[in-house]
Structure 1
Amino acid sequence: MLHDLVVEDNSEETRTHKIFNAVDKASYEFDTSKPVWLDSTIRDFKRHGKARFTQDNFVDEVPFDYLEIHVLDED
Protein backbone atom coordinates (compact mmCIF):
# COMPACT_ATOMS: atom_id res chain seq x y z
CA MET A 1 0.00 0.00 0.00
CA LEU A 2 1.48 3.28 -1.05
CA HIS A 3 -1.20 5.69 0.16
CA ASP A 4 -4.26 5.45 2.31
CA LEU A 5 -7.00 7.82 3.32
CA VAL A 6 -9.79 7.62 5.86
CA VAL A 7 -12.92 9.65 5.19
CA GLU A 8 -15.35 10.06 8.06
CA ASP A 9 -18.77 11.43 7.15
CA ASN A 10 -21.20 12.21 9.96
CA SER A 11 -23.56 14.17 7.72
CA GLU A 12 -27.25 13.43 7.31
CA GLU A 13 -26.70 12.38 3.68
CA THR A 14 -27.81 8.96 2.49
CA ARG A 15 -25.31 6.11 2.65
CA THR A 16 -24.99 6.20 -1.15
CA HIS A 17 -24.21 9.92 -1.18
CA LYS A 18 -21.65 9.46 1.58
CA ILE A 19 -19.89 6.78 -0.47
CA PHE A 20 -19.88 8.89 -3.63
CA ASN A 21 -18.58 11.89 -1.66
CA ALA A 22 -15.80 9.77 -0.15
CA VAL A 23 -14.74 8.50 -3.59
CA ASP A 24 -14.76 12.09 -4.86
CA LYS A 25 -12.59 13.17 -1.92
CA ALA A 26 -10.15 10.30 -2.49
CA SER A 27 -9.92 11.21 -6.17
CA TYR A 28 -9.11 14.79 -5.24
CA GLU A 29 -6.58 13.81 -2.55
CA PHE A 30 -4.81 11.37 -4.89
CA ASP A 31 -5.03 13.81 -7.82
CA THR A 32 -6.83 11.41 -10.17
CA SER A 33 -9.98 11.54 -12.22
CA LYS A 34 -13.14 10.18 -10.64
CA PRO A 35 -13.64 6.48 -11.33
CA VAL A 36 -16.60 5.12 -13.25
CA TRP A 37 -18.78 2.66 -11.36
CA LEU A 38 -18.91 -0.30 -13.75
CA ASP A 39 -21.58 -2.97 -13.28
CA SER A 40 -18.96 -5.37 -11.96
CA THR A 41 -17.75 -2.77 -9.46
CA ILE A 42 -21.28 -2.16 -8.20
CA ARG A 43 -21.95 -5.89 -7.94
CA ASP A 44 -18.76 -6.48 -5.92
CA PHE A 45 -19.50 -3.49 -3.71
CA LYS A 46 -23.01 -4.74 -2.91
CA ARG A 47 -21.70 -8.23 -2.21
CA HIS A 48 -18.59 -7.41 -0.16
CA GLY A 49 -18.92 -3.82 1.09
CA LYS A 50 -15.80 -2.82 -0.80
CA ALA A 51 -14.94 -1.82 -4.34
CA ARG A 52 -11.75 -2.02 -6.33
CA PHE A 53 -11.34 0.52 -9.12
CA THR A 54 -8.76 -0.58 -11.70
CA GLN A 55 -7.52 1.23 -14.81
CA ASP A 56 -10.74 0.11 -16.56
CA ASN A 57 -12.71 2.35 -14.20
CA PHE A 58 -10.79 5.50 -15.15
CA VAL A 59 -10.95 7.57 -18.32
CA ASP A 60 -7.41 8.87 -17.77
CA GLU A 61 -4.26 6.91 -17.05
CA VAL A 62 -3.71 6.46 -13.30
CA PRO A 63 -0.33 5.95 -11.60
CA PHE A 64 -1.42 2.95 -9.51
CA ASP A 65 -2.72 -0.60 -9.94
CA TYR A 66 -6.05 0.00 -8.23
CA LEU A 67 -7.99 2.20 -5.82
CA GLU A 68 -9.90 0.20 -3.24
CA ILE A 69 -12.56 1.49 -0.89
CA HIS A 70 -14.04 -0.19 2.18
CA VAL A 71 -17.11 1.03 4.01
CA LEU A 72 -16.90 0.74 7.78
CA ASP A 73 -20.22 1.36 9.48
CA GLU A 74 -20.05 2.40 13.10
CA ASP A 75 -23.42 2.21 14.79
Structure 2
Amino acid sequence: MFRLWGKVYKNNKMVKDTVIEQMEDNLSKDALTHDCLDKICYEFDLQHPMWLNDNYKDYPAYGKTSFKQDHFIEQIDFDYLEIEIIDVEKEKKKRRSIMRL
Protein backbone atom coordinates (compact mmCIF):
# COMPACT_ATOMS: atom_id res chain seq x y z
CA MET A 1 0.00 0.00 0.00
CA PHE A 2 1.21 3.52 -0.86
CA ARG A 3 -0.06 6.53 1.08
CA LEU A 4 0.58 10.18 0.26
CA TRP A 5 -0.30 13.01 2.64
CA GLY A 6 -1.21 16.31 1.00
CA LYS A 7 -1.18 19.50 3.09
CA VAL A 8 -1.98 23.12 2.19
CA TYR A 9 -0.30 25.82 4.28
CA LYS A 10 -1.25 29.47 4.61
CA ASN A 11 0.44 31.90 7.03
CA ASN A 12 2.50 29.01 8.46
CA LYS A 13 -0.63 27.05 9.41
CA MET A 14 -2.01 23.92 7.83
CA VAL A 15 -5.44 24.82 6.49
CA LYS A 16 -6.28 21.60 4.58
CA ASP A 17 -4.97 18.08 4.52
CA THR A 18 -5.86 14.71 3.09
CA VAL A 19 -4.34 11.25 2.80
CA ILE A 20 -4.65 9.35 -0.45
CA GLU A 21 -4.10 5.58 -0.49
CA GLN A 22 -3.11 3.61 -3.56
CA MET A 23 -3.41 -0.16 -3.41
CA GLU A 24 -1.80 -1.03 -6.78
CA ASP A 25 1.53 -2.77 -6.26
CA ASN A 26 2.51 -3.02 -9.93
CA LEU A 27 3.17 0.73 -10.41
CA SER A 28 6.47 2.49 -9.82
CA LYS A 29 6.92 4.90 -6.92
CA ASP A 30 6.86 7.83 -9.38
CA ALA A 31 3.64 6.64 -10.99
CA LEU A 32 2.04 6.13 -7.58
CA THR A 33 3.14 9.60 -6.47
CA HIS A 34 1.77 11.34 -9.56
CA ASP A 35 -1.51 9.41 -9.37
CA CYS A 36 -1.96 10.33 -5.70
CA LEU A 37 -0.93 13.94 -6.39
CA ASP A 38 -3.61 14.12 -9.10
CA LYS A 39 -6.20 12.96 -6.55
CA ILE A 40 -4.97 15.45 -3.94
CA CYS A 41 -5.20 18.30 -6.45
CA TYR A 42 -8.69 17.19 -7.46
CA GLU A 43 -9.81 17.09 -3.82
CA PHE A 44 -8.35 20.55 -3.13
CA ASP A 45 -9.57 21.91 -6.50
CA LEU A 46 -6.04 22.82 -7.64
CA GLN A 47 -4.24 22.55 -10.91
CA HIS A 48 -1.44 19.97 -11.04
CA PRO A 49 1.85 21.66 -10.05
CA MET A 50 5.02 21.46 -12.10
CA TRP A 51 7.97 19.48 -10.73
CA LEU A 52 11.07 21.67 -10.62
CA ASN A 53 14.68 20.86 -9.71
CA ASP A 54 14.09 21.34 -5.99
CA ASN A 55 11.29 18.75 -6.07
CA TYR A 56 13.46 16.20 -7.86
CA LYS A 57 16.11 16.64 -5.13
CA ASP A 58 13.86 16.82 -2.04
CA TYR A 59 11.34 14.07 -2.77
CA PRO A 60 13.74 11.11 -3.04
CA ALA A 61 15.95 12.39 -0.21
CA TYR A 62 13.29 13.23 2.36
CA GLY A 63 10.10 11.52 1.16
CA LYS A 64 8.39 14.90 0.90
CA THR A 65 8.45 18.06 -1.18
CA SER A 66 6.56 21.32 -1.47
CA PHE A 67 5.06 23.33 -4.31
CA LYS A 68 5.00 27.13 -4.11
CA GLN A 69 3.64 29.79 -6.49
CA ASP A 70 6.52 29.12 -8.93
CA HIS A 71 5.23 25.57 -9.42
CA PHE A 72 1.76 26.70 -10.52
CA ILE A 73 0.72 28.56 -13.66
CA GLU A 74 -2.39 30.05 -12.07
CA GLN A 75 -2.35 32.26 -8.98
CA ILE A 76 -2.71 30.33 -5.70
CA ASP A 77 -4.36 31.64 -2.52
CA PHE A 78 -2.06 29.79 -0.09
CA ASP A 79 1.67 29.70 0.66
CA TYR A 80 2.49 26.17 -0.46
CA LEU A 81 1.26 22.63 -1.01
CA GLU A 82 3.33 19.90 0.63
CA ILE A 83 3.19 16.19 -0.13
CA GLU A 84 4.73 13.53 2.08
CA ILE A 85 4.97 9.77 1.80
CA ILE A 86 3.50 7.93 4.76
CA ASP A 87 5.63 4.85 5.27
CA VAL A 88 3.19 2.16 6.40
CA GLU A 89 5.90 -0.31 7.45
CA LYS A 90 7.70 2.29 9.58
CA GLU A 91 4.40 3.16 11.30
CA LYS A 92 3.72 -0.52 12.08
CA LYS A 93 7.18 -0.93 13.63
CA LYS A 94 6.71 2.24 15.68
CA ARG A 95 3.32 1.03 16.98
CA ARG A 96 4.78 -2.36 17.92
CA SER A 97 7.63 -0.76 19.85
CA ILE A 98 5.22 1.56 21.69
CA MET A 99 2.94 -1.35 22.59
CA ARG A 100 5.91 -3.20 24.12
CA LEU A 101 6.56 -0.35 26.52
- In structure 1, give the amino acid aligned to 2:49: P
Q: What is the CA distance between 1:46 and its match in structure 2?
A: 1.5
The structure, 1 or 2, with the larger RCO (C-alpha pairs under 8 Å, 6+ apart) is 2
Query: In the aligned structure 2, how far is the partner of 1:31 from the partner of 1:52?
Result: 17
The superposition leaves residues 28-62 of structure 1 with CA deviations (integer Å, 9 ceiling, x where unpaired) of 11111100000111101121110100011001111
- Gap runs ≥5 in structure 1: none
| Equivalent-residue separation in structure 2 for 1:64 and 1:11 (angstroms) | 32
Size of the alignment, in residue pairs?
75
Match of 2:22 in 1: 9
Separation of aligned partners in 2, 1:10 and 1:34: 22
* Aligned mate of 1:61, from 56, 75, 80: 75
Indicate the RMSD between aligned Cα atoms, in angstroms. 1.0
Kindly, what percent of the aligned residue pairs are identical?
A: 36
Runs of 4+ aligned residues of structure 1 deviating over 2 Å after TM superposition are none
Output the TM-score relative to the length of structure 1: 0.92
Which structure's residues are more often helix, by fraction? 2
Matched to 1:4, the amino acid is: D
